[in-house]
Amino acid sequence: MAGQTYNPYDNVLKVMDDAAALLGYSSSDIEALKYPERELKVAIPVVMDDGTTRVFEGYRIQHSTSRGPAKGGVRFHPAVNLDEVKALAAWMTFKCAVVNIPYGGGKGGVVCNPTELSERELRAITRRFTAAIAPLIGPDQDIPAPDVGSNAAVMGWMMDTYSMLKGHCVHGVVTGKPIELGGALGRNEATGRGVMFTTKNIMKKLGMEFKGTDVAVQGMGNVGSITAKLLDEEGMKVVAVSDVSGGIYKKEGLNIPAILKFLGADRKNLLKDYEEEGMTRISNSELLELDVTVLIPAALENQINASNVDRIRAKVIVEAANGPTAAEADPILKEKNIVVVPDILANAGGVVVSYFEWVQNIQSVSWTEAEVNEKLKNIMDPSFEAVWNIAQEKNTTLRMGAYLIAVERVVKAKKARAIWP
């Protein structure tokens, strides 16, 4: 791909085509899945704290609603663009299908850097963005959630804005909300908890010892930090972590509780300012290339690609981020006998518990955190088993196994509904 611009949506199309071919589908069977059902681009004018007006660009895309309402996060990041949001929406379609929850795929994004915004500015962007996409969203249509750069507070503002426009409280319009606004207990930890379950599952299948085994985590946002915390608590040795400012490495294992306390003290705190005895500073690219047993990319897409795949030394990669491995890297990783657990399976815990939150909202019921975590495990473990079994049966990768299950479920739903009119 030298000299070419990386397009994550092309990545989605390639894997989908490969899965459809293995399933024996014709091009007509999957043609509609290659095009998002709706793409909305909005302008978001905001009066900044200094009195100037800035216009931010935002998107909401619904890839497929064949299996249910669109479901997917809202990303606040400077690199947000149309192709990225299209890819993320399509990944959500297949992610929901692989764990068999009744959703389609959607995604949203705003081009901004939340770390450079005041809380008032971020709230203003959120409210104006919500108002702009309000015709597309709703508990029966499209349910946003947190993603990179957004959090429970942002979801609370989104819910309030939508409720003000409707004239009554609508809890189920978003998930990942504060508990006080109908959020699910365990939702904040759900994606990371799902990654932890998946890591345990793959290591058990490969006959690897879990406790004391070294793991590196790229990214210390919600998913990466919770993953590192839970793996550390379960006995794995987290030897490296990183964020946008760079990474840190310690062969004996890092003090994860201390790191999380430091990062949590202020949302502007970064690892470049963290100190721990015996640690060394590394770059994000160096972290990916460490000689560790397990590598967990939990940052952004296209981290493992043609330029660095030859230097990847981990034995197992568990994709906590969406699309961290470019399509051209997959066959090389397979040649190197590096096992990759794909994003649409590994990080599905977030959308599973989002589903639980939505169910609780629309039924006006409440579950304990223990119930939520148990229900999550009862979906993640059989989903992993199904993907493992079909990959073994077809002698293919776990990524292809996941897509074989997901594409078949979406195509069957689409065929059952038929093309309207």
Catalytic residues: 107
Category of 3 on φ-ψ map: left (φ > 0), alpha (ψ -120 to 50) or beta: left
Paired strand residues for 77: 111
Q: 183 with 174: CB under 8 angstroms?
A: no
- Stretch (H or E) spanning 198: helix 187-205
Provide the β-strand partners of residue 47: 53
- Helix 398-417, helix 8-23: angle, nearest 10: 80
Beta pairing class for 53-64 and 38-47: antiparallel
Distance CA 139, CA 168 (A): 13
Separation between Cα atoms, residue 299 and residue 317, nearest integer Å? 13
DSSP conformation class of 7: -
Q: What is the spatial distance between Cα 307 and Cα 62, in angstroms, rounded to a whole number?
A: 32
Give the separation between CA 303 and CA 323, rounded to whole angstroms. Answer: 8
Helix segments in 37-151, DSSP class H? 82-98, 119-133
Residue 281's beta-bridge partner residues?
Answer: 248
Q: Which amino acid would we find at residue 45? A: P
How many residues are present in the chain?
421
Give dist(CA 340, CA 296) in Å, integer: 10
Residue 149 CA to its chain's centroid (Å)? 12
If you ran DSSP here, which 8-state letter would residue 112 be given? Answer: -
Under 8 Å between Cβ of 319 and 302: no
Contact 218, 227 (CB under 8 A): no
